[in-house]
Amino acid sequence: MTGQGAEPIIIMRDVHKWFGEFHVLKGIDLEVGKSQKVVVCGPSGSGKSTMIRCINRLEEHQRGEIIVDGIELTSDVKNVEAIRREVGMVFQSFNLFPHLTVLENLILAPMWVRRMPRKEAEELAMSLLERVKIPEQANKYPGQLSGGQQQRVAIARALCMKPKIMLFDEPTSALDPEMVKEVLDVMIELANEGMTMVVVTHEMGFAKSVADFVVFMDQGEIVEVAPPSVFFTSPKSDRTKLFLSQILQH
Amino acid sequence: MATEGRAGATASEIGPPVTERITVLAWLKHNLFSSWFNSLLTILVGYLLYIVLVPLFRWAVLDATISGTSKEACDFGGACWTLIKVRFGQYIYGLYPEEQRWRVDLAFAIAVVAMVPLFLERFRHRLTYAVGLVVIYPVIGYALFYGGWLGLPVVETPRWGGLFLTLVIAGVGITASFPLGILLALGRRSSMPVIKSLSVAFIELVRGVPLVTVLFMASVMLPLFLPAGVNFDKLMRALVGVALFSAAYMAEVVRGGLQAIPKGQYEAAMALGLGYWQTTGLIILPQALRLVIPGIVNTFIGLFKDTSLVTIIGLFDLLGMAKLIVTDPQWLGLAAESYIFAAFGFWIFCFAMSRYSQYVERRLSTGNRR
Residues forming beta bridges with residue A216, ordered by sequence position? A41, A224
**Terminal Cα distance for chain B, rounded:** 43
CA–CA distance, B273 with B279 (Å, rounded to integer): 9
Beta pairing, strands A196-200 & A165-169: parallel
B260 touching A, CB under 8 A? no
- CB neighbours of B354 closer than 8 A, spacing ≥ 6? B297, B301
The beta-carbon neighbor of A97 closest among B270, B271, B283 is B283
Give the model's pLDDT for residue B370.
Answer: 45
A108 touching B, CB under 8 A? yes
Packed helices B162-188 and B293-306: angle between N→C axes, nearest 10 degrees: 140
Instruction: With CA atoms as reference, report the closest residue to A106 among A84, A69, A132, A77.
Output: A132
Give the model's pLDDT for residue B11.
Answer: 59
Query: H or E segment at B316?
Result: strand B316-317
**Interface A:B, Cβ pairs < 8 A:** 72
CA–CA distance, A81 with A94 (Å, rounded to integer): 21
Contacts of A141 in chain B (CB under 8 A): 367-369
Contacts of A97 in chain B (CB under 8 A): 265, 268, 283, 287
Q: What is the DSSP letter of B231?
A: -
The beta-carbon neighbor of B274 closest among A57, A96, A109 is A109
A91 touching B, CB under 8 A? yes
> Tens-digit pLDDT profile for chain A (250 aa)?
444 556 899 999 999 999 999 999 999 999 999 999 999 999 988 999 999 999 999 999 999 999 999 999 988 889 999 999 999 999 999 999 999 999 999 999 999 999 999 999 999 999 999 999 999 999 999 999 999 999 999 999 999 999 999 999 999 999 998 899 999 999 999 999 999 999 999 888 999 999 999 999 999 999 999 999 999 888 888 888 888 888 876 5
- How far apart are the CA of B60 and the nearest CA of chain A, in angstroms? 49
| Coil vs helix vs strand at B90 | helix
| Coil vs helix vs strand at B87 | coil
The CA–CA distances, whole Å, from B162 to A209, B7, B87, B359 equal 78, 74, 11, 29
What is the identity of the amino acid at B314?
A: G
B365 touching A, CB under 8 A? no
Contacts of A87 in chain B (CB under 8 A): 271
Contact between A16 and A25 (Cβ < 8 Å): yes
- How far apart are the CA of A79 and the nearest CA of chain B, in angstroms? 11
Contact between A90 and A36 (Cβ < 8 Å): no
The beta-carbon neighbor of B273 closest among A85, A100, A144 is A85
The beta-carbon neighbor of B272 closest among A93, A98, A109 is A109
Contact between B159 and B97 (Cβ < 8 Å): yes
Give the model's pLDDT for residue A1.
Answer: 44
Burial per residue of B230-255, b for 16 or more beta-carbon CB atoms within 10 angstroms, e otherwise: eeeebbebbbbbbbbbbbbbbbbbbb
Interface test with A, best of B272, B274, B287, B366 (most A CBs within 10 A): B272
Helices (H), chain B: 24-31, 36-57, 82-86, 88-93, 101-119, 126-146, 162-188, 193-207, 211-216, 222-225, 234-259, 263-271, 276-278, 285-291, 293-306, 318-326, 335-365
CA–CA distance, A35 with A192 (Å, rounded to integer): 9
- The rounded average pLDDT for each run of 10 residues, N- to C-terminus, in chain B (370 residues) is 52 71 77 83 92 89 81 78 88 89 90 85 79 89 85 86 92 94 96 95 93 83 73 82 93 96 95 94 94 92 91 89 89 87 93 90 66
CA–CA distance, B182 with B284 (Å, rounded to integer): 12
Instruction: With CA atoms as reference, report the closest residue to A90 among A100, A105, A69.
Output: A105
Look at B286 and A99 and tell me if their CB atoms are within 8 Å.
yes
Find the largest Cα–Cα distance for chain B: 100
Instruction: With CA atoms as reference, report the closest residue to A47 among A72, A69, A71, A30.
Output: A30
Contact between A152 and A179 (Cβ < 8 Å): no
A109 touching B, CB under 8 A? yes
Contact between B305 and B346 (Cβ < 8 Å): yes
Write the DSSP assignment of B287-307 as a string of letters.
HHHHHTHHHHHHHHHHHHHHG
